[in-house]
Every structure is written in structure tokens, then in C-alpha cells.
Structure 1
Amino acid sequence: MFTNTIKKIVRAGLLVSLGLSFCYSAYAQQEIKIGVIYPLSGAAASSGSEMKNALELAADIVNNGAKTVPNLPFSAGGGLPNLKGAKIKLVFADHQGNPQIGATETERLITQEKVVAIVGAYFSNVTATSSQVAEKYKIPYVNPESSSSTLTQRGFKWFFRTTAHDDLFVHNFFDFFKELEAKKGIKVKQLATFNENTLWGNETTKLETKLAAEKGYNLVKTIVYPAKSTQLTSEVQQLKSANPQVVMQSSYLGDAIMSMKTYKELGFSPEMILANNAGFTDTEFRRTLGKDADYVITREVWSPDLAKNNPLIKQVNDLYNSKYKADFTGNSSRTFTGLMTLVDAINRAASTEPEAIRKALVETNIPANKLIMPWKGIKFDEHGQNVLGSGILVQIIDGKYNTVWPFDLATKDVVWPMPKWDQRK
């Protein structure tokens, strides 16, 4: 009898154990782990923080809903409907702006955290190494912001980029110059390039040099400076001596701020600084420089003043602002869109199997009215490049970004030339 009692206790304990195991398993299935890798420390930590906020907002909308944006996908909340309400769990990694750390952290996310997909990584050179690891492990990789053209020229099967790329953005610069002359009577001929020397900046320099020659512009100076420089005095002196009308510049946040301070210090005042996004669109750029940030024109992919054409822009930006006391930027709005695109694919796949997610990404076709971006939609070509993305140009006036090109979308007339430093109020 004693033996039978022991057997019953053991059997009961086993059932309880199995029950707990089953409950844990069922709970575990309610979370879909997505790895996200961004610069959360180092010189671009401010940019990384804004993009982290955007990711958390997107996940919160999917998991818990957002009644104020009923037309946004997943705004009803409750998780992914095709996966029985499974919730998104973001697993963050910090690449610190270092390509090698990006690669090792991506491997950790895949092999130890067991994420089903990766979103990242802002820096093009980090995205290059990070996505290579994902390709090796056959894990879907969605890249919302990196614009280096070669990222989608590597023959990868698991890499998908939602943003447009630098080939298109640099063409936009020269389209702008042409229309500036035709519609505003402003003629630009003397150009200079001032770009950092990682993958993004080097590729941009090649594109700008090529197009300047093809389109008949005089490139009076080409400067490629070391990324994360501690001073830019000699480089700016070279620019000043070359006397360009327009400086086309590609810099991350720290370099963008430093260059503007050096321009003022040395009295360098070209007709225009035409920036290639990145540091020039970070909230910290305007916060640090104040009025000295005014009049810069930068290429962009998003601006709050475009809400007149798309109510979703204001509705989602208001959510972001209420939570983080700041507006979306071109970076964070793209990051938000990248995660929402991945979630859409996982839901359509009705699976967390990597191949099923990859196949759903290939079949993605999100219409413009479901996006907060001023794009025609999201649809990937055979290289994983969204073919429906586009760019705009914005100018900082009174501390705010205003769309100035394309001219039919402009909310303010372009101010040209930039006032000289000693003529500013």
C-alpha cells in the first residue's frame, strides 16, 4: 500500500510537472522574438535611441493596439491574428557603430536568443557584416535605413531593404539642381563633396563624382575625411579655398555637428549645404546647434508637414510624440516602417519558420495608404530592394524641417542662398 501511495504521488507530481511544462510551452509560443541591432552607445547613440523608441512603439501598437490610428495595420492590437494572438518581443543588441561587433552580436541574437528575424542596423558598413551573418544562418534580415547601394547587389536571398538607396538619393540632388534653375532661376555649377570614409560615405562620393561629370557640373573639391574625426579644421579650410557654391555632405551625427561648428568658426559660407540625411536629420543636430542648424537642406524620406497628404503621418507621429516628447525623424520613421513590414510578413506567413517568413517578404505588397512614409508602397524586387520608395528634400527653417522639394509637395519655398554667418540674426 505504501508503495502504491508513493507511485500515486510520483504520478501526480509528474502530471503537475507536465502541466507546468505545457503551460510554459504554450506561453512561450505567445512571444515571437525579433532581434534588433542598432548603435545604442558611442557617437551615434542619440540616433540609436530614437530608432529604439520607434521599434518599441511599433511593437506596442501590434501587441496592445492604438485606437487613434484605425487605418494602420495591427492597430487593433492583440498580437498577430494569424498566429493566435502571438505577441512581438524585441531583443536589442548594441553594435556601437563597429562592423565586427555588429557581426558577433547578430550571431548571438540568432544562436543564443533564437530570434526568428533581424532588423537593423542603420550604419551601412555594420549592416553589411551583420546581414552577412544572417545570410549564413538563413535568417530573414530587414534593413529599414541603410542606403549604401551595394547592400542589395550581393546576391543575398535573406536580405530585404525597405528604404530607397543612395543611387536614387544622389540622382535626386541633381534633379533638384536642374529644377532649381528651370523653376527658380537659381543656377548651380560649382560643387564640392564632403563625406565620411565608411562604406556609405565612400559609395556616395563615387556616385556624386560620376553624376557631376555626366551632368556637366564642376566638382571643385572632393574630400573624404576619417569617420569620427576629433577635428575637421584642415578639411574645412580646403573647402573654403575651393569656394564651391554647394557642398554635398554625408556625415553621421557627431561629424555633422562638428562640421557646422567649424564652418561658423572659419567663416565658411557656401550658397548651400546639401546633406545626405543621417546626422543632419537627428533631433540632437538641431538641439545642439540651435539657430546655427538653420537653412541646411538635407535629403529625407519623411517630414511631419507631409501629413496634409497622409493623415497616418500625423496620427502615428502624435503617438510617438506623446510617449517620447519628440517627433519622428527620417531615421526613426523608417525604422518603425521596417519593423511593421516584417511583422506583416510574419503574420501573412502564419509561421515563425525562417523560410516561410522569407517567402512572405518576397510576396510583400503594402499600399501607400497603409504607410507613414510618402512612398508608393513597399514591394521588393529580386534583390530584396523596395522599388516603391522615394526621397524628398527638407530645409531647416526656424528649427523645423520643411519640405522644399519636389516642388509640388513643398510646404515652404526654398531659402537660397544660406545667409552668411555674420548676417544671421
Structure 2
Amino acid sequence: MNPLRLACCLASVALLIAGCTSTPDNPQPLAVGVLAPLSGPDASWGVDAVNGARLAVDIVNDAHPDLPLPLAAGTGLPGRRGARLSLAARDTAGQVETASAALTALAEQEHVAGLVLAESADIAESAASQAQRLRVPLLDARSSDDYLTELGIDWYFRIGPSDSRLTEAAFALLARRGAGSGGITLITESGRGGSSAAVTSLRDLARRAGVPVTLSLTMAAGATDAKRLHDQLAEKPENTVVAWAQTAAGARAVADAVGETTGRPTLVGLGQGFRSLERPDSGAALLRAVPWSADLAQRDPTARLVAELYERRNGKPMSAVAADAFTATMALAAAVDTAGSADPAAIRTALRRTSLSAVQLIMPWDGVRFGDDGQNQFAAAVVEQWQDRGYRLVYPIELASTRARWSSPEPKP
């Protein structure tokens, strides 16, 4: 073969190879996964979680210079030569087994750089152990149970506040009622979230806040004994009830019982059940500790812009679970960019070193920085109350849009 023909053949091979691989000017996209219940009883908020994660990916991929969020100003990941993110969503159906199969598929087939999880504590515990085995970073965007960060799982991270942090905020507000406010009735829903350990923790936090507990009641899981709860409250009514409910049915049953009790005491709701309660139909003056407030978001320029963008794209207001998943996905994207690599171990290391300030978030937190246990140490809680047909922020005082009401003046809708 003459030299000219040989050179042409080599050039053709080189072009063929270049066409089959990414180039510095056209890097391959990196996938991040999201696991949420897209079918079953929790499908509505599971869809919200995926939509929140998708909005975060879109903000990273497309220029949004008006948003002071990480990676929003440009297009793609600058640490990966402008590579775009893609989102791989999988349905957990609210089941441990289904979530496990979905996680395996995302890690071994989709080769995701990291995972965002919006699920219950039971599924989060199982998923954290599996992520450890598969060596893929997992960001928990929803569950708040304290024990999850005590399991010693190096590949598990939680973006939002723990139950202890949420409860501390609620009792800090209760302590402001002043002298002569009386004690509280403590109600816990049985099951994992209402175990004796949880009751002990609630009592200890109440004692530290100087809030006396005069009566403790237990409600069956799923509120199968709601009438019994109402009768117990009627026997010895207090002006304040603090309830812990992990299920939506439990939260609604407590709200109904309190709203129908003589004097209609103020209800402080804790646990996932109350965070998912859209409204107390009984008209109870419900206070609840939450990681995100739609009321506050309307007064924060960045959060308002993101919420408006979310509503335009999805045809409904941004929900708390959408905000949680959005924030977790943004933190994961920032770590992927910092790592400058698709290697999950490098991304895990980058997550450990992540440091986002308050102005880079849509959440009412001091920022994002993960401790050795994987918990975001800067995650905070606010307290909102159902007033005038909506939730209004009442604590911390410097962020409040109105004052807390220590009674239930609203009639049933």
C-alpha cells in the first residue's frame, strides 16, 4: 500500500473512532437517579418529587443567570467541560422490594452518578444499605427519622432536618406561650415512629424547653381507634396537644379529634403524617414543624422564582416534597461538578466536602454541609400554622408573616 493510501485509511479509522466516542467539545451526559412512589397511595407526592428533581436538572443544563443557585448561571457542568445532566426516574410503589429492584437497575444498568430518594424511613433504611453495597451515593430528600444517620452508612446523606431538629423548633415556639399556659397532652401514633423511644425523646425535648407534659396517649397505627382518642381527649382537655403521627390517616384523625374537643385546643403536629396533611378539615388551629414553607417561599426572591418556574412547567404550585427533591438534586449536581468525574467514590468525597450557603438555596436553612454521619448540619425547621384557609409561617419570629394563635377560632369549612 502506498504511503498516501495508508494515510487516508488511518485518517478514516480515526474519524470513525471519534464518531463513536465523546469529544472534549461534546462530553457524554451524566445521569442522576431519583426514586419515588409513582404508583400506589403516595403517587401524587412521588410525582411532585420527580418534577422537583427534573426542574433542578433543567436549571443546571440551561442558563438561568437570574437564579443565584449553584450551576444555574451557565449551561451544563463546568467541572465536566459543560456535560449535561440527565434524570433517570424509577417507581418504588412505596414498597421495599420494588425500591430495591429499582435502585439496582439505576446503579448497574443506568450507571447513575448518584441517587435522590423521596420515600419513607423503612425504604430509606433499606436503600441506604443497598447503596452502600453498590457503592453509589444516596441523598435522602424526605425521611427525617433520627436513627437513619446513626446506622454508620458512609454512602448515605440526608439533606433535610432530622425529627429532633423539627421537634426542637416546635417546642421552642411552645415555650413562648408564657407562664400560666398549662401543660400539654402528648399523643403518639404506635409503630416505628411512635415507639417508646420516640415518646421518651419527645418528653426529654419538652422538659428541656420547659413545657410540662400532663397526659400521654397512644393511638393505634393508621388511627383505627380514632373514637377512643376523641373520648380520651374529652375526659381531660388541655389547651395544647402535641401529636406525633407518621401516617396521613393518623394525622387526620388527631386533627379531627382535637377540632371536636370542647375548647378546641391548639394542636402541634409532628411527623411525616402532619407534614403531608394539606388542611385540617376540623378547623383545628394546627401548628406543624416543616423544612420548607410555601408562605416564606413567596417572600424569598430566589424561592419565589423557582416556585413560579415549577408552577409554569407543571400546572400546580410547588409542594414541600418537590422543594426537598429539588434541593437534594441541586446538591448532588454540585458534588458531581466538583468531583469532575463520574466515579461514584469521587462524588461521595465531593458530597462530604459540599458547602452551599443560604443564598444558594430555596430552603429556609443556613446552607448545606454534611457531617460525618451524612446529616446536613445546616438544615433547619420552621413552624407554620393553619390560619385563614392556608398555612402561615409563625416561627422563627424574624421570618414570620403572622403571630401564632393559641386557640381554634376558625369554624369548620
Q: TM-score, normalised by structure 1?
A: 0.84
Partner residue in 1 for 2:33 = 35
Partner residue in 1 for 2:6 = none
Per-residue deviation, 1:99? 2.8
Gaps of 5+ in 1: 1-9
Aligned equivalent of 1:285, options 264, 268, 278: 278
Q: Does residue 172 of structure 1 match 2:169?
A: yes
Structure 1: which amino acid aligns with 2:278?
F
Measure the CA separation in 2 of the matches of 1:200 and 1:247.
13
Measure the CA separation in 2 of the matches of 1:324 and 1:204.
37
**Contact 1:124 1:199 survives alignment (8 Å):** no
Measure the CA separation in 2 of the matches of 1:101 and 1:269.
46
Q: Which residues of 2 match residues 322-401 of structure 1 at below 5 A?
A: 322-401=312-391
Q: Does residue 148 of structure 1 match 2:142?
A: no
Per-residue deviation, 1:355? 1.2
Partner residue in 1 for 2:409 = 419
Cα distance, 1:236–1:85 mapped onto 2, change above 3 Å: farther
Cα distance, 1:334–1:200 mapped onto 2, change above 3 Å: farther
Partner residue in 1 for 2:62 = 64
Tell me the SS of whatever aligns to 1:360: helix
Q: Identity of counterpart residues, as a percentage?
A: 26
**Contact 2:264 2:408 survives alignment (8 Å):** yes
Measure the CA separation in 1 of the matches of 2:26 and 2:193.
39
Measure the CA separation in 1 of the matches of 2:79 and 2:317.
32
Tell me the SS of whatever aligns to 2:157: strand
Measure the CA separation in 1 of the matches of 2:403 and 2:97.
44
Measure the CA separation in 2 of the matches of 1:398 and 1:100.
42
Partner residue in 2 for 1:48 = 46
Per-residue deviation, 1:157? 1.3
Measure the CA separation in 2 of the matches of 1:201 and 1:79.
46
Tell me the SS of whatever aligns to 2:189: strand
Measure the CA separation in 2 of the matches of 1:400 and 1:216.
27
Query: Which range moved further: 359-368 or 87-96?
Result: 87-96
Structure 1: which amino acid aligns with 2:20?
S
Structure 1: which amino acid aligns with 2:333?
V
Cα distance, 1:202–1:338 mapped onto 2, change above 3 Å: farther
The C-alpha deviation readout for 1:73-118, integer Å capped at 9, x for no partner, is: 2223421111122121111122222233323322222122221211
Measure the CA separation in 2 of the matches of 1:333 and 1:128.
22
More helix, by proportion:
1
Q: Which residues of 2 match residues 311-326 of structure 1 at below 5 A?
A: 311-326=301-316
Structure 2: which amino acid aligns with 1:210?
D
**Contact 1:152 1:384 survives alignment (8 Å):** yes
Aligned equivalent of 2:160, options 149, 160, 163: 163
Partner residue in 1 for 2:113 = 116
Measure the CA separation in 2 of the matches of 1:410 and 1:343.
31
Partner residue in 1 for 2:213 = 218
Per-residue deviation, 1:348? 0.7
Gaps of 5+ in 2: 1-8
Cα distance, 1:86–1:150 mapped onto 2, change above 3 Å: same
Per-residue deviation, 1:26? 8.6
Tell me the SS of whatever aligns to 1:395: strand
Q: Does residue 249 of structure 1 match 2:239?
A: no
Measure the CA separation in 1 of the matches of 2:395 and 2:114.
36
Measure the CA separation in 2 of the matches of 1:261 and 1:139.
43
Structure 1: which amino acid aligns with 2:237?
N
